[in-house]
Amino acid sequence: MTHHWKNIVGVCVAFAAVILASGSVTAQTVPDKAISDDLFDRGVALRKESMKLGETPGSQVLARKKLEEACAKFKESDRLHHSRSKSANLAECYASLGRVASAWPLFRALADEYKGQGDAERETLARQRAEDMKVRMPWLVIDVTPSAAGTAGIKVSRSSAPVEPTLWGEQIPVDPGDQRVEATAPGKKTWHRTVTLEEKQVVTVSVPELESAPIDLPSRARLPAQVSSPSTDAPSHLGMHPQRAGALAAGGIGGVAVLVGSVAGIWAISQSSSAKKACLTSPCNEAADTMDEAAVAAKVSNVGFIVGGAGLAAATILWVTAPSISDRRTSASLYIVPSIIGTDGGAIQLFGAF
């Protein structure tokens, strides 16, 4: 008994679930049907306006625009809630616009629906309309050449609609008017061609091998269009010619060398004087160390003056020969003649004209 009641309860629950599900579907389709019917009525009104405008001279453009709006309303209406009357109106609307390739499959689908309903009269009429559209249709053949077909990742489209490889080389029904054929592939330039088709016309478009696209380097890797070498006449960041900056550097080195030579020379003279005084009061062999120090200092002084003189001379030449920012030349000369310093002393002679 208990098992029997369990079966009854299970059946009731399943039945209730089916009822609730069907009610949910109905609740969802009712708003769509209402919107669909409203769009259909607006489409009918627009088509009537188009017919009236078509009878008025000079209003053909506006009449066609109204008819295009009507077709859009019929299409959305049929999408939201399909019915044979809505599909029939959409098909006839397309036919009125001359969009025979768009109307053709709609008439064929209507014929199949009428056949399923056993309405032979309407089926015959729909098939006849489909045949009328087919006779008027233009056909487009997209021939993808073998070299293009072998390109990795190639994609072909017709007026933004993808064309699968199975349709390459086949006749594709299209509406009269312009058709843009485009082919793209990674690393290749986009190829495209636009052709205009009329009713009953067959046009073949060949897609050639795609050209390689130029490599677009990242901004950081891009080289300047023109690289100019630094000009030797350009002023340095200190506001002077680089040659004069070098003159200052050479002069600084020369000055330091002269300073070292001067100090060493003074030390050599001092030590030499001390050694001579010591020889007057005691044997000279006791002042030998002092004399040696004086000799070494004298050599250092000579080297310092030689290096310093060369540095100052180079600095003078660089400074005088360097062009100034104002393109003025300074007439100046400086001569430094170091005297060889021995144990008896030394001197520096400077000659210049400014």
Ranges for all domains in the chain classified under CATH 2.60.40: 139-207
Rg of the chain in Å (alpha carbons): 52
CATH class of 30-135: mainly alpha
Q: Are 210 and 189 in contact (CB under 8 A)?
A: yes
Q: Round to whole Å and give the CA distance between 242 and 240.
A: 6
Location of each CATH 1.25.40 domain in the chain: 30-135
Query: Could you say which architecture CATH assigns to the domain 139-207?
Result: Sandwich (2.60)
197 contacts 136 by C-beta, under 8 angstroms: no
Give the contacts of 148 (CB within 8 A, at least 6 positions apart): 154, 183, 207, 208, 209, 210
Q: How confident is the model at residue 74, as a pLDDT?
A: 95
Residue 304 is predicted with a pLDDT of 64
Decide: 119 and 141 in contact? Cβ < 8 Å: no
* Strand extents, DSSP E, 99-235: 139-144, 155-158, 161-162, 171-173, 177-184, 191-197, 202-207
User: What is the pLDDT at residue 271?
Assistant: 64
- CA distance to 45, 182, 269, 297, 343, per residue, from 263 (Å): 114, 88, 10, 9, 14
pLDDT at 252: 76
CA–CA gap between residue 4 and residue 202 (Å, rounded): 72
Predicted local confidence at residue 256, as pLDDT: 77
Q: Which residues of the chain have pLDDT under 70?
A: 1-30, 216-241, 243, 247, 250-251, 254, 257-258, 261, 264-265, 267-268, 271-272, 275-292, 294, 297, 301, 304-305, 308, 311, 315, 318-319, 324-354
